[in-house]
Every structure is written in C-alpha cells, then in structure tokens.
Structure 1
Amino acid sequence: MFVRDNLLNKIKSLPDAPGVYFMKGSRSEVIYIGKAISLKKRVGSYFVSHISDDPRRTALVSKIRDIDFITTSSEAEALILEAGLIKQYQPKYNVAIKDDKAYPLLKLTINEKFPRLFIVRKQKDDSALYFGPYTSVRLLRQALGFMRKIFPLRICRLMPKRVCLHYHLSQCVGPCAGKVSAPQYHKIVENLRLFLSGQKKSLLQKLFLQMQESASSLDFETAAKIKEQITALNSVSIEQKIKNTPVNALNQLLKLERGQLVIEGFDISNIGGQYAVGSMVRFKNSQPEKKAYRRFKIKTVKQSNDYAMMQEVITRRYTKTLCTTLTMPDLILIDGGKGHLHSVSRCLNKLHINIPALSIAKKFEHIYVQNYAQPICLPHTSKVLQILMRVRDEAHRFAVSYHRILRDKSIFIAIICGFLFMK
C-alpha cells in the first residue's frame, strides 16, 4: 500500500509534457521504457485500475517500485530517445520492440560516397549504420524532417547532375553539383551519427569548436551556419529536465550515486578592483582533481565588478585552449548569489554552452538554481549541500591564495623601489 501511494504521489508531480518514462523494479533496475505525449496522463493510466485484460501489463504494474522520466520538446523527439534507451537498457517488458523486426529503422548509408539517411523496415547485412527500431513510423517521419533541416544530407537515391528542390529548401547541401566537398559532407554525416547515438553533449562541444575555427579563419558564412545548427540542437530537449520543483531539479542534477559527476567551481577575489583574480577548481566523484585547477588574472575589468570579472573567467575557461585540453563538466558552481548566477547564465548562453549552473551564497548557504526565482535551503546534514560547500570553499581558498600572492608581490616591489629611491 505504501509503495502504491508513493508512486501515485510521484505521478502527480509529473509534467503534462511529451517525454520518455522509466518503470523501475525493486533493485532500481529499468523494467520498462515508454514514450508519451503527456507523461502525467500516460503514466497515470497504468494505475487507474488493477483490472486489466492484458496479463503482461498487470504483471508490469505489480513490479513497479519507482518511476523516472525525461522530457522532450515533441513526441517525435521522444520516439528517437525511446529507441536508444531501450537498446541501452534492454528492459524485461519491452520484449516486443527488442525482437520484432517489422518496426521501422533509420538507415545511414556510410558505404556510399555521399551517405543518405532514410527509413527502412528490415536491417540488411551490409556496411550501413542502423538506428532503432522505432515504434511509430508517423513520428519517425516527423523526426526525419527535423533532422534534415539540421543535417542536410542528400535525399535522392541516384545522384542527379544538378541540384534539386531539396537544395533550394536548405534540406540538402548539393553534393551532386559540387556545392560541398567530400570532407565537409562527411563532417555532417559524423555529426548526425553522434546525434542519433545520443551523444548530444559531445556533438555540441564539437560544433562549438568548429564554429570558432571558422570564425578565426574569417569564414563567417560557415560559422553562421554552424551557429544555426547549435541553436536548433539546443532546442531539442533530449537532456533531462525536471519541471516540478527546484528541489527535485537539484536532486536530479546532483545524483551522487552516479559516481562520475564532474563539478567545476569558480570564485573571484580582489580589493576594490585591484589584484583581481579568478579561480577554477574541479571535483570528480566528490574528490578534487588538483591537476585540473586553473587560476586567472583579470585582464579586461579595471573596476570592482564581480559580475564582469566572473564573465571574463567563464569565457576564458570555456573557449580556445582550455576548452580542448579539459573536458566539459556536468555542473558549474559559482560562489555567490542570484545576481552572480544570472550573470554567468547569460555568458554561457552567448557561448552556446548548455551546462547546468548553480550558485551558493555564504552565511545562510542558499542555493540558487537556473530558471527558479526562489533559493533552495537544505539542512547542514544534507550530503548535497556538503559537497557544494566543499567545492565552493575550495574555489574561494584557491582564489584568495592567488590574490595574496599578487598583492604581496606588489607590496614587496614597492618596498624595494622605495628603498632604492631613498638611497
């Protein structure tokens, strides 16, 4: 009775939005994965009544001990995500989609000079890449149309001698008429493969670097096109989004049992704008990675402006050399309040970086989460609060130590110069 009441309470907090839901068993194993136009209505329908004509469904409901979900911006996107997750987890009660060869698949013909992406019903023993299976061909067609706008591969089965209507609609880059080189075309193919494999984070990081390279070589047209791709991909909500309460959002972001959570903490230290420095510390699996620590001497801000200084540090960390030498974190933590977080969020948006950010204010230890007006107040016994405080305090220590080094060096030089002048 307690388990059922707990599940019903969880269902009430589900969003009325499209997405993918996970049914979990007594050992937290995933036993079923499904998609929905409305997560609240679809998951709730399983618990409307104990009576069911389908014995498999009755057996499934009796085994459910927990429910998780991922929201998407459309049902078509939920379809793509659902297929990848079923392939990854192989849930017990998704037997039909695991075994039935009649379900549609996506085929990427990497064995061709200029590969195509299209829907098929059967997987052949060839050198092409197959993704799926998917449960709805209607939604798959919608998703395919969306992907062709971002990854404009050729559609024609036979290569014509001149561009067709798809080229003029920006749904093909025109390899048939030499409008694109083979290496450039295969960059699009590789980006599409990453997207279909669920590696959106790696893809966005790769596109961002490509955009910077194009801009550095003054190829602004290519840079603008890549920027459009990044914007379109950021609108695809394949990452998990919790829309009920900020506490749930924080718990989802900081699932410490994942064991590989990487947090980067930032802080600023200065006296009236002088000897201004920034620090970055990095924690993995709740432990500091001191080799990855970085310190920044503020260069562009001359007055006392913590917000502008923090934006400079964030920009320098997530662009150019540091962006390639250090992998992206799972979470960014700022030492400060709501204003600091808002400033950093705007900076990340300008850089097209989609990494969750939090800030934690001293004294009352209020935690501010992106897109939530009210702060979170956790008890001091909370493990989540303890790890955040540890990262924040380490970033503060590292910033203050560098600030003192610069200040003491300046004072020492002033004393020496004064001594020499007296002579």
Structure 2
Amino acid sequence: MADPSTYRPAPGEVPDTPGVYRFRDEHRRVIYVGKAKSLRRRLASYFQDVAALHPRTAGMVTTAASVEWTVVSTEVEALQLEYAWIKEYDPRFNVKYRDDKSYPSLAVTMNEEFPRVRVMRGPKRRGVRYFGPYAHAWAIRETVDLLLRTFPVRTCSDGVFKRARQVGRPCLLGYIEKCAAPCTGRVTPGEHRELAEQFCDFMAGRTGTHLRRLEGEMAAAAEAMEYERAARLRDDIAALRRAMEKSAVVLDDATDADLLAVAADELEAAVQIFHVRGGRVRGQRGWISDRVEDVSVAGLVEHALQQLYGEESGAGEETGGGGGVPREVLVPELPDSAEALGAWLAARRGSRVELRVPRRGDKKELLATVTRNAEHALAVHKTKRASDLTTRSRALEEITEALGLDSAPLRIECFDISHLQGEDVVGSMVVFEDGLARKGEYRRFRIRGFEGQDDVRAMHEVVSRRFRRYLREMENTDEWSADGARDPGSPDAPSDPGPPGGAPVPDGGDEPPLAGTARDEEGRPRRFAYPPQLVVVDGGPAQVAAARRAMDELGIDDVAVCGLAKRLEEVWLPDEEDPVVLPRTSEGLYLLQRVRDEAHRFAIRYQRTRRSAAVRRGPLDDIPGLGETRRTALLRHFGSLKRLRAADVDQLCEVPGIGRRTAETIVAALAAGPGPAPAVNTATGEIIEE
C-alpha cells in the first residue's frame, strides 16, 4: 500500500485549468482517469487524510504510485478526452455502471421500419448506427434534444409508439413538434427514414449541407414574407450550431494524425505529441531536452520528428495502439528540410505523408492545445528543477567544486549591462539565495557620465557602486545618521536627501519596488547590506577582470567572482587563461544560466522602460512648431538623438518639411541642454525621474 504523499504534486505545480488526469500504479498501468474544470482543486481533493476519503477513493490513491495530467482548453475537451482514455485504458477504479454494461452510445435503429434515436449500452447490433461512446447519458440526451428541433425523429419506446398508433394521437413530443409523429401518419415511413438518415449524417460530421439548406430555406421564406417560418428556421439553425460545438480533441472520424508542439526558452525545450487515430486522441507523449545553441523552433521540430519516428515502432507505448507514421503530421513550423523529411516519413509509412502547419479549423485548435501542454510541461520541469531542495543543493555543491570556493555560495549576485547602441546605458543586479530568486532585492543602476559600447567600464562602475554602498552601511560611518538617512555631506548625496533611504524606483510592471532604506526600524541592516559569496557577471574575461578590479580597489577580497559567456556557456575566473567548462547537464551550470538570464532580462526591462519614457517625452517635444510627423522625420533622417544634436542648420534643412526658421529653433532648443538635474535614489544611486 503506497503513501499518497510520496507522489503528491508540489504546491503550484498543478495548473488551475480544465484538464484530464490519470493515476498509474507501480507498473505504470492506468488505474483511474478523471476530468476536472480545475485540475488544481480536483487533484488536491485526493491528497487529504486517507481516512476521510470514500473507501473506493482511498483504495485508488493508495494503489497508485504516480499521477499525471493533460491541460485542455475547455470542459468539453476534457470530457471528450476522458471518454477516449477510459475506453482505451479501461481503468479498474473508474466508475462502473450498475448494469455492468459498457459506456453508453447514441444509437439510431436503422434496422426498424421507423428508426428510433436512443441511448444504448452493451454489444453492438447489426443495422444500428452508433455514435460515441460517451461517459454520461445526460450528455447524449442534451445533444438529441437540440437536434430533434431540426430532425424530428422518433425517440419513444416501442410500447408508447404502438399505443399512439392505436389511439391515433401522438405523444407530447409530437404536439411540441419534436417528433414527426409517424405513429399517426403525419409522415410516411420513407420520409421518416430520410429524417433519420439526415440525423446520422449530421452526427457523423457532415453538417455543412444541412446548414446551407436551412439557410437557403430561411432566406426564401423571408423573401416570401413568411416571417414566422423564417424565424423558426433561424431558431433551428441556432440549435444546430449549438449542437455543433464539438471538442477540438475530437476530429473527423477518418483523421489519422500526429500533432507535435514545442515550447522552448534559451536553455531547454519541451516537446509534446498527441497521437490521433480514427479522429480521437489515442495517446500522448513528451520529453524535455537541452536546447542546442542557435537551433530555431523549426530545427527543434525536425529533431523531434527524427527522434519520434526514428524508433522502430514510430511511437511509444503511450500511443495506445496508434503507433507508426500517420497520414498527417501537424507541426507549429515547417523545418527547412521539410521536403526531404516528408519523403523520409513517406518511406517509413509506405505511402504519402502530409507534413504541414494547420492554418484554421479543429486541427489548428487541437495543435494549440498540444502547445499549451508543452508550455505547461516545460514550466513544471523548470519549477521542479528550481524548487527541489536536493537539486539546488547539488547545484551549489557543483559550483563550489568547479570554482574552488571554500563554502557553498548561498547568496549569489549577478550583474549585467544593457544599452541601445551605446546610449541609455543601464545596469542590473539580481540576487539568488539558496538557489532561488529574491526579487525584492533586485537593484537597477543608471550609468551616467559616459556613453558608448563600453561594457567593461560600465561593469566596473556598477560593481563599484554596489560595494561602496555595502562598505558604507557596514562601517556605519558618519555618512549615515541614526535613522539611516544619508549624510548630505557625502560625495554621492543629492542636495536634498529626502526621506530616509530615498523613494523607491517604480518599475512600471511586475517587479517589486526597490527598497532603499539602509536599516529597519530596529537599526538592523537591510539585506542589501549583506555581502554575497559569489558575484557573477554576464560576460567573459574582460568583464570579470573589471568586476575584480572594482572590488580590489575597495579592499574587498572575500567575495568570489566569475563570468558566464553566452557563446559557449564558459565560466571564466579572474586571472585565468582558460575557462571552466561545466557539462551541459550540470545542475551548477543550469543555476548559473538562470542567474545570468534573469540579470539580462531585468537589465533589458529597465533599459526598455527608460527608452519608452524618453520616446513619450523627449527633448523635441517642447520645441514650438515641431509636431509628431516632423519629429519622426528628423529621427529617421539622423538615426539618433545624438546625431541630431550634432547637426547644424543646413543639415537640418535637408530633412523634408524642415525650413530654415524651424531648423534654427531646433538648434537653439537642443543647444540649451536639459533642465534641472534629475532626482537620485539615495540608497542605490539610481535615477528616479528625469
């Protein structure tokens, strides 16, 4: 008997979306399939106290050894996928009907004189058209109720039908026109059989013909001013459209296809495949792999197809009998070698295989569902890898060993520089403690005083500012008053220090405000004053040397420094000619990559925020007579504000729409320079407003 807590999903791992879940035993056999409007709430109900569960549920969760789930778009998709997998796996713990029969199907008894629509279970009979099976009889009855308005086929039992024929009066359905009442001779047996055949055609997916016919009849009735009949036909069409709301998980009965989707970031990629056979999802599989450098999504698709169909069977055990190469392979992007890949697939199948990207319809919707599952699988994988304590401990141990540190770097700070062609240079600092991001301690730096693509100098500036602040806080010099406010006499202090710690710098998005107070209410230093055990810089030997030099100039020799170069993911140490190369599967390298990518993201976000603010309110906005069209023409002609400032009157006159008087006004306004000096955050030295 297994303990459900051993395989319980971690908090936040299960999505709060519709989906289908499967419990498996220790032999990987599916023992229960269920659906839920919210996977998170439904699965949480299974992992409570076993004594409080229903005896059958308790037996299921103690027999199971793992649980997995598939995300879908709507409850209807979850319902259809649940049908397919219950029929496929026949799980032992799923609900069994009391009559011990199979799942109900919608049946049309075409073997009778007056065909009847009914819910049937048990073995199939000759001459009866079946649709389904379904998990619930009520779902069938709701669909039939909508269709009877347009296809009034009889649904009554043989006893009711015989009694109506004897008395010459139809039942209630005949009076409300949901039955053609063949029992009283309103329609002939041939006409009633034609209605039944139309009903079967509609259920089989051939819906366009009937809708076009009804729309034509409605238009003709409206033209003949038979408005009541036109309104009824309109309502019939609406009823058919409601009945046509079919799941993207179920396609046309003749569809045999594999749908492949990829979700990737800079480091890893998740691949998900749905195997559709006979119009229904018969299996699902997926895997996670490292993303090779400079491989696009199309390249990932090509590698996934090679791995998928390069195996002997072409599909794994999860396909549920849907193995081999199907007639269609649907992908999000076509590989560059799509023609050769299609020929290879055709050779393995023995007939033509269509490799394409679905553009519309149910197949496109189903591929979107597969994509959502791939994205969810990647998110779950990254969450597991980042949140697992054992994994994080192993990552820190590997970093300690690779860099030759005395102890594990429990606090890691990473710095990155971002600019736009040498302008608006900014820096970022992100903090990871115990392998987890601490967003509340991120810092942003605006680097003033120089422009140009000099990342080395900018890195030296940012690291120096960070550790100068650290030294001032730890030494508690006269630059700080008792309440933590900066001494106005300090070199970096603005003329008006403002409130203690300065105002937080807004980030305009999902990042937390940047706290700048040096000490809390009890006088203890904030976490910004804590020294890191490891400083990581985004770059190679030059950036590492700049960071090391900045700390040496401040007398800090107890903080390790390394750099991570993006091209080959090499780890560089100060004064070392050769890099440290960690295996791509190393958890230590994965942690360093996450830290570096987070610093890069944070720096780019700050730089783009500043750039957007500059575009919204630039030095050209206040020049009289210069509208949006002329400003755009100026910037397009000169390429940047820096070149525009350097232009003279004659050069400005070359821009279409700019006369000499306007050019002189522009030169005078730009020569006047900016307004008053910007406010500075006293805690971090960052610009608050321009």
Normalising by structure 1, we get a TM-score of 0.45
Higher Cα radius of gyration: 2
**Structure 1 or 2: more helix by fraction:** 1
